[in-house]
Structure 1
Amino acid sequence: MKTNRFITKIVAVALVLLSLSSCKGLLDLKPDSSMTYNGFWDTEEGARSAFIGNYTRFRGYAGTFWDLGEMRSDLWGGKTMESPFGETMIQNDFNELKAPYGGNFADFYGFLHNVNDFIVNAPKSPLASNAKDFNNMMAQMHGIRAFVYYTMLKTWGDVVLSTNPADGDFIANESMQKRKRAPKAEVMKQVLDDIAKSLEYYEKSGTNNWRNSSVYWSKNATLTLKGDALLWKGQVLNGGQADFQAAKEALQLVKGSLVAYNDLWGIDNEGNKEFIFAFDYKENQSSHWYGSLTAKAGDVVSLVDQKGNSVKDKYGFQGANRYGVSQFAINKLYEFDGDKRQNTFILFYEPGKPADVHNLASEDYKGAALSKFMGYNDKSGERRYWENIPLYRYADVLLLLAEAKNQLGEDPSAEINMVRVRAGVAVKYISKNKLENKRAILDERLREFAGEGKRWWDLVRAGDDLVFDYVTNLKKENRHMIYLPLSNSLISKDPEYITQTEGY
């Protein structure tokens, strides 16, 4: 009977997700939380199931985070071997009539409902009597909610704030449903409040890293997010020196280390000590999307890489080639001799390659594959995409710390050079003026994180209108396009409360 009751509760979770996915409006939810209605929170096992379920749903947005964080940058837009994906974002070619992600906040509110449900109801459940686990789980959920709202802030600017699940009280109180988009400063306050709650719960739990695994949100992840968010607040939202100082202090508290560069990638290395938080991909559970950045085996059968190796024999691709790296990115990756990050992209050529194998305008150049997450061939010969995908790693902490120091008028070269040396670069960076240092940090972050979903955010966060210098299809007179529009159809469902992004 106990097993049957538990299955009933799992089905209830599926029902509430179904109800959320079929919503007509932004917060148009069914009249009761299915989990609450079915007694889901009456047992500790129910609360634990909700906790794990939230990680499954969080992983479902990993590709969205990547797309939002990178596609609009100067990293992509080169030649592909198949019809390209993501052109709307890559070309910054959108408006209110052609809004990315359906113009409905990328369906983040469905996930936020589930996180809110845990934050509100777990303290009332039997799980709360297990103080160590309860406090750590609450710390993780607050950290994840902060990250989602931070992503929404960076993407749409003003967004609707909702910290309540779709329970009876929510539906009965119309003011809880009908909310205008909160201004950016208020959204950032919510992000920082959640970060503070996360750190408070970690302190209570006495455990900073759940199960000692990077696939669970940790105190280090919250501290990294805090530094990241405060840099955004200081440089994009017209904050001040106090933000940069607080960012520096948070990042200096992150305990971590760099590992050998070649030990970062692949399923055998997914538990490395550099990953702070990573999305967990496992056999028979979920595969990641990076197969679209490799190639079809038949398309590369006669091609060689930049060293003249047969692509077919060396790599055994079984994917697709939908995203093309830019010449600008290749130039940066090959700026220094000995840089291990030159292997980030495998460039495909016809045999008898041209003298300059890094000239993507060559007729012999056919396309490229991202090497970081290209899966592996199992015993049956099938290509599997089950590596864990990092959201934050320690190199990120170092280069964010370099940003904070630079904004404070301090020398950022130590952190830049730690990342460079690990990559095999002998040329040390010497600090210059603040703007030149910013550009150097941006260059280092491109080399280090190409393909990891960060470049667009990096360019915007740098401030000083630098994003317009690098992304040439985005003009200063269209600076409103830093933030994405909503669809007119979404606004028409609730025009009194949901308004278009400013400038559209």
Structure 2
Amino acid sequence: MRRYLSTIKYALGISLVLGATGCSDQLDEVQPQTSLNRDLILSDPNAAMTLYYGVYGSFRSYHYTLFTLGEMRSEIWADGLFTESEDGGLRNYYTHNIDANNVPAGNWAGFYSLLDKINTAIKLFPQTPVTEDQKTRVLAEMHGLRAYVYYTMLKTWGGVPLTAEPVTEVGSLEELYKERATPEAVMAQVKADIEQSLSLFADDDALAAGFTGTSKHIYWNRAASLTLKGDAYIWSGTHMGGGSADLATAQQALEEVSTISGLGLVENYADLFDPAREANNPEIIFAISYEKDEATTGVYSSFRVNTTQAGTLLLDPYTNPRTVAQAYPYLAGASRVGLSESMIQKLQSSEDERIDATFEVMYRNDPPAYPIAGVLLTKFAGREDAGSQLYDVDFPVYRYADVLLMLAEAKAKQGGDPSAEINQIRERAYGSSYTPYADGSQEQDLRAILEEDLREFIGEGKRWWSLRRAGDEWVFAYVDPVYLAPGQEYKFLLPISVSMLNSDPKLEQTPGY
């Protein structure tokens, strides 16, 4: 029996739903969980725009996934101090306790659900009754978003199944089987979508979609596509045989971002994470939006502290002693992951304003030693609002500091001088008395870039990707060899689960597992 799905799905990609169950008799039970009538989308501009906004609402639900995949396998949070039971799931990431029977981010982390929404928008929007300018802008954004998702999947699993069409009908279970494309094919899709996005944007440099009425940079834009282009071409130049040609393309794209009016570093680093300063923030290129009465972030709960301990743990016990509860009366969560003492000492070893704006160290009230209990990630703490904590800080996917450090990386890998970009980052971090960086060897340049990257992006889901993009040797230079050592390069990519392999005979395991 052929079951026709006459509505636009807002659920997991059908093949992935069935793959998770491993049961062919589930086929007849497949139903869209939330739907918009196709005919309504094609006849009513308001319904069409609901489809558009729905893509961004769905993208926001991947904040935890993007953060975890992009940061938790790095050295930042490994062997950290915490006050409650350890978050075992996150521990598996930073200890690289990963194998075919212990698979994090299973079922492709649910990304095919998001891709189906994006593919649906790309498919239907040309036929909707919105204005031509709106159609062009929406399609430009959707191609950019699809490129970003596939790029994230490429970095996570290597080759993955490729699909550029929404699922609209299901005949037999066999029709749903899909093999993994090669990494080269996935990268080709990423690059094709980037170029299509840039072509559709043309000279439209608006950082917020003109028909939304928002001044926050929370919709994909031309600067985001150019930044992604730089990111992806550095990756392909480093890891996929693109060499100097791809690195030069990356440099050109990133330099073009710097010519876009209204973009640049904010003067005060802490302003990046102040909800009151998100409108027209010149550093934010594309961010996930959080607003009161709309959505707030719960991603960082394990990086805070519970309310009972907040009344006993101290901040700055030697010079300005106060309890966490006194400093942050409404903050709540659990201390289940943290920074090691060595990492804390490394980050606090200089007058870097980024560190004070990122976390505070919590001490036990046990004088005179005041042992460190853990850290409180304050970067995304939000603000007090009507007697409660409002976690409404936008999550930056790309910001201008990304552009500068990736541009420095592209230059360094071509034998160029990255000091100008590094020093822009340093001057903001350390003030006018900063020590300028002078161009050195390629190894010295890349280390300088990665050291700034470490301090710049804590909590923003970037560090693991930065180490990976820099090159295999840099992963091993920073990650504890107890957890990941030369010879274990296969662990750079994640495996897929046995149930996925059993459900789809066309799938093959990630190499090495």
Normalised by the length of structure 1, the TM-score is: 0.89
User: 1:359-438 alignment to 2 at 5 Å?
Assistant: 364-379=371-386, 381-425=387-431, 426-438=434-446
**Structure 2: distance between partners of 1:52 and 1:21:** 25
User: What residue ranges of structure 2 are gaps of 5+ in the alignment?
Assistant: 1-5
How far 1:494 moved relative to its partner? Answer: 1.0
**Structure 1: distance between partners of 2:248 and 2:286:** 24
Contact 1:291–1:319 (Cα < 8 Å) also in 2: yes
Q: What SS does the corresponding residue of 1:348 show, helix, strand or coil?
A: strand
Aligned residue pairs, count: 479
Match for residue 112 of structure 1 among 106, 111, 115: 115
Match for residue 347 of structure 2 among 333, 339, 354: 333
Higher helix share: 1
User: What residue ranges of structure 1 are gaps of 5+ in the alignment?
Assistant: 1-10, 356-362
Q: What SS does the corresponding residue of 2:398 show, helix, strand or coil?
A: strand
Tell me the alpha carbon deviations over residues 151-181 of structure 1, each in whole angstroms, 9 at most, x when there is no partner.
000000010000100113xx46989743210
1:148 aligns with 2:149: yes
User: 1:219-238 alignment to 2 at 5 Å?
Assistant: 219-238=222-241
Q: What SS does the corresponding residue of 1:366 show, helix, strand or coil?
A: strand
Closer/same/farther in 2, CA of residues 145 and 328 from structure 1, 3 Å limit: farther
Tell me the alpha carbon deviations over residues 221-257 of structure 1, each in whole angstroms, 9 at most, x when there is no partner.
1111110111111112232101111101101111311
Closer/same/farther in 2, CA of residues 208 and 390 from structure 1, 3 Å limit: closer
Aligned to 1:501: 510
**Structure 2: distance between partners of 1:37 and 1:444:** 48
Which piece of structure 1 moves more, 185-194 or 236-245?
Answer: 236-245
Aligned to 1:163: 164
Closer/same/farther in 2, CA of residues 43 and 468 from structure 1, 3 Å limit: same
Tell me the alpha carbon deviations over residues 347-404 of structure 1, each in whole angstroms, 9 at most, x when there is no partner.
011246667xxxxxxx71111011211122212x211211211111111110010001
Q: What SS does the corresponding residue of 1:154 show, helix, strand or coil?
A: helix
Which piece of structure 1 moves more, 174-183 or 189-198?
Answer: 174-183
How far 1:92 moved relative to its partner? Answer: 0.6
Q: What SS does the corresponding residue of 1:347 show, helix, strand or coil?
A: strand
How far 1:487 moved relative to its partner? Answer: 0.2
User: 1:40-59 alignment to 2 at 5 Å?
Assistant: 40-59=41-60
How far 1:52 moved relative to its partner? Answer: 0.3
Aligned to 1:24: 18
How far 1:12 moved relative to its partner? Answer: 5.7
Contact 1:236–1:460 (Cα < 8 Å) also in 2: no
User: 1:348-359 alignment to 2 at 5 Å?
Assistant: 348-351=362-365
**Structure 1: distance between partners of 2:395 and 2:145:** 16
Aligned to 2:321: 309
**Structure 2: distance between partners of 1:468 and 1:240:** 22
**Structure 2: distance between partners of 1:21 and 1:378:** 43
Aligned to 2:85: 83
**Structure 2: distance between partners of 1:206 and 1:87:** 41
- CA RMSD in angstroms, aligned pairs only: 2.5
Which piece of structure 1 moves more, 142-151 or 459-468?
Answer: 459-468
How far 1:140 moved relative to its partner? Answer: 0.6
Aligned residue type for 1:293? F
Closer/same/farther in 2, CA of residues 328 and 450 from structure 1, 3 Å limit: farther
1:138 aligns with 2:144: no
Contact 1:44–1:125 (Cα < 8 Å) also in 2: yes
Tell me the percent identity.
38
How far 1:37 moved relative to its partner? Answer: 5.0
**Structure 2: distance between partners of 1:471 and 1:231:** 21
1:178 aligns with 2:180: no
Q: What SS does the corresponding residue of 2:362 show, helix, strand or coil?
A: strand
Closer/same/farther in 2, CA of residues 154 and 327 from structure 1, 3 Å limit: farther
Q: What SS does the corresponding residue of 1:67 show, helix, strand or coil?
A: helix
